[in-house]
Structure 1
Amino acid sequence: MSMATQTADPVSLADVLSIHRIGGSEFLGPARTTSAPRIFGGITTGQAVLAARATVTGHRPIHALQTTFLRPGYSDSPVTYRVDPLHDGASVSTRLITATQHDRIIFTGTASFQQPEHGLAHQLTTFSGPRPEDIEPTARAVGKSRSSSWLSALERTTMLEFRFPDTPIRMSTARGVAVDPHQKFWVRPVRPLPKDSSVHAAVLGYLSDALLLSTSLGPHRKTLQDPGMQFATINHSVWFHSTCPADDWLWYEQEGIWAGSARAVCRGSIFRRTGELAATVVQEGLIRVTPE
């Protein structure tokens, strides 16, 4: 093995989300060896953003994405993304994305892109929290607490860095403690991203899925890893409010606003360091507890 091969650049989230055109409006997300057999929903979301954007001409950033997860995807096989143009107006373009694996549809989504315009502006939500630099990194926190080792594993598998000002819901429920279905944290990719606004939008879509569904388990003293627990995203929507550098620290506020009928609905707000609201997220997921 050559020295150049041994010292190859480490894989970044841009590499993980990368797709390539296989003809017309079809794109391929290659199979990747991961520690989990199922594809993390954020990967499918991010690749759908990239596929749809590749069919839109001009400077029209994504402003909305509504998705439905129909079947699990598996990391040992490629995923094909077909993009159909639904509309190209004077300022807005809309695309339908269909993801298939082994000739079965696993995901559908509708993405909308808008030419930047000036208009009325306000945001109702604001945030106040400690700077990420003032919160202990996970590596040091894990060294002090065995119960936080799950977070170290999460960072490795998602390639995201997290900093929690308060105890994460997952740590409380693992100890059998009931907590309110709210959590807040700073998050960013472990490695920098290329200067491509489409990639940053895709990564924002990717990280919007991180930990959101588990927020609903706070009052129930359960984790998604408990025996007899079945969970899956049913639908996931992201509204992109502004072009956002996704490799800087982002403040993510999450809340589980409802649970029942083996489902849960969670909502998230993602802010830039400056306090500007970057995205709003709503997710519905299946959370079913089966007899052990």
Structure 2
Amino acid sequence: MPHPLATPALASLSRPPVSSILELAQLDSNSFRGESHTGVRRVYGGQTLGQSLLAAGRTIEHEHHPHSLHANFVHPGRSDLPVDYHVERVRDGASFTTRHVRAVQGGRTLLLATASFQRDEEGLRHQDIEPSPVPPLPEDLPHFQDSLTISEAAEANWLPPLMAGVGIEFRFPEEYPRLACRRGENGPPRQRAWIRTLEPLGDERLIHAAGFAYCSDLFLLSATLPPHARHIDTPGLQLASMNHAVWLHAPFRSDEWHLYEQHGYWMGGGRGISTGRLFDRKGTLVASTTQEGLLRFPL
């Protein structure tokens, strides 16, 4: 049965405001500073992704919009210190604009990213993928914490730090594979969740692109683990995101519900690779992601 006390206990947590995280202070024409606004020690990877894309976009003076972000995570960051973003103006073209971003904290490079922007244009369209099976709507699903059994809630010491560290609401159409893995059960390397930012983000298109970049890191690498009945709390696991890519196919609001389907299609050599597909309520593909990460378990 669901744990009746899970919601009040977690409701008291201070959740990070994504709208504030995506407010950058401009230091000069090519440099910006971002804050964390979280109570956890380590910077959430999606924060540096979202802030990097936003910093790059703030240097563009014409109607070009983000369509891709490719990033390499170099060092972990601390949430109690600001992160500075230094933007290199690589190219300003009629159709495409390219920016290179270096995220720095205390003299250490946390992330290197390349962002590409495009002028809106018409062209041929198709998508050869759709959600399968069709999921229940997010309004018909419980908050994740309300779906836990008493025993699951008692063992979910990983959940409060997760919810305190990211300003994202999520609801699972099926059981979250992490729960089955904790029971020692394996399964296919697939998972999906309805996601959105916790609060409205206004109407600026760049903010919503950065908002999804912020959300895109959530759960993604863990999709590689169900075939092995492992989870990211497994004792001795070394876990780190290494590189991450986001493609934005159409404008959308990251503060509205979208279905994020994830597939951990390869694992080996202490690394894993997952892909993600983001669908709107009509099943239209609006964004895609890929992430490679370190998943080193003790032998």
Normalised TM-score (structure 1): 0.91
Does the CA contact (< 8 Å) of 1:52 and 1:83 recur in 2? yes
- Answer with 251-260 or 71-80: which moved more: 71-80
Does the CA contact (< 8 Å) of 1:19 and 1:51 recur in 2? yes
Question: Unaligned 5+ residue runs, structure 1?
Answer: 1-9
Q: Which amino acid letter does the alignment assign opposite residue 199 of structure 1?
A: I
Q: Give secondary structure in 2 for the equivalent of 1:55.
A: coil
Deviation at 1:172, TM superposition (A): 0.9
Q: Does 1:132 align with 2:132?
A: no
Which residue of 2 is the match for residue 55 of structure 1? 59
Deviations 1:153-192 (A, max 9, x none): 5334312111111111111111111111101111111222
Question: Unaligned 5+ residue runs, structure 2?
Answer: 1-14
Give the one of 277, 282, 289 matched to 2:290.
282
Q: Which amino acid letter does the alignment assign opposite residue 152 of structure 2?
A: S
Which residue of 1 is the match for residue 175 of structure 2? 167
Which residue of 2 is the match for residue 16 of structure 1? 21
Q: Which amino acid letter does the alignment assign opposite residue 23 of structure 1?
A: D
CA gap of 1:146–1:58, structure 2 versus 1, over 3 A, is farther
CA gap of 1:157–1:30, structure 2 versus 1, over 3 A, is closer
Q: Does 1:250 align with 2:258?
A: yes
Which residue of 2 is the match for residue 117 of structure 1? 121
Whole-Å separation in 2 of the counterparts to 1:130 and 1:152: 26
Q: Give secondary structure in 2 for the equivalent of 1:265.
A: strand
Which residue of 2 is the match for residue 6 of structure 1? none
Whole-Å separation in 2 of the counterparts to 1:240 and 1:145: 40
Whole-Å separation in 2 of the counterparts to 1:44 and 1:139: 27
Give the one of 236, 247, 254 matched to 1:239.
247
Does the CA contact (< 8 Å) of 2:101 and 2:114 recur in 1? yes
Give the one of 55, 77, 102 matched to 2:106.
102
Which residue of 1 is the match for residue 86 of structure 2? 82
CA gap of 1:31–1:247, structure 2 versus 1, over 3 A, is closer
Deviations 1:192-236 (A, max 9, x none): 222221111111111111000111011111111121001111100
Which residue of 2 is the match for residue 39 of structure 1? 43
Q: Which amino acid letter does the alignment assign opposite residue 120 of structure 1?
A: L
Q: How does 1:129-208 map to 2 (within 5 A)?
A: 129-142=135-148, 144-148=149-153, 149=156, 150-151=158-159, 154-208=162-216
Which residue of 1 is the match for residue 6 of structure 2? none
CA gap of 1:98–1:255, structure 2 versus 1, over 3 A, is same
Q: Which amino acid letter does the alignment assign opposite residue 236 of structure 1?
A: H
Percent sequence identity over aligned pairs: 38
Whole-Å separation in 2 of the counterparts to 1:260 and 1:229: 14
Q: Which amino acid letter does the alignment assign opposite residue 239 of structure 2?
A: F
Which residue of 1 is the match for residue 11 of structure 2? none
Q: Which amino acid letter does the alignment assign opposite residue 66 of structure 1?
A: H
Whole-Å separation in 2 of the counterparts to 1:47 and 1:205: 9
Deviations 1:62-111 (A, max 9, x none): 00100000111111211110000111111110000001111121110000
User: RMSD value over aligned CA atoms?
Assistant: 1.6
Whole-Å separation in 1 of the counterparts to 2:163 and 2:38: 17
Whole-Å separation in 2 of the counterparts to 1:288 and 1:38: 19
- Answer with 144-153 or 219-228: which moved more: 144-153
Deviation at 1:31, TM superposition (A): 5.2
Give the one of 19, 29, 34 matched to 2:34.
29
Whole-Å separation in 1 of the counterparts to 2:245 and 2:146: 34
Deviations 1:118-156 (A, max 9, x none): 0000011111221112222224323x4441544565334
Whole-Å separation in 2 of the counterparts to 1:247 and 1:205: 12
Runs of 4+ in 1 over 6 A off after TM superposition: none
Does the CA contact (< 8 Å) of 1:32 and 1:77 recur in 2? no
Normalised TM-score (structure 2): 0.89
Whole-Å separation in 2 of the counterparts to 1:139 and 1:72: 28
Does the CA contact (< 8 Å) of 2:270 and 2:296 recur in 1? yes
Deviations 1:239-260 (A, max 9, x none): 0001111111010100101000
Which residue of 2 is the match for residue 3 of structure 1? none
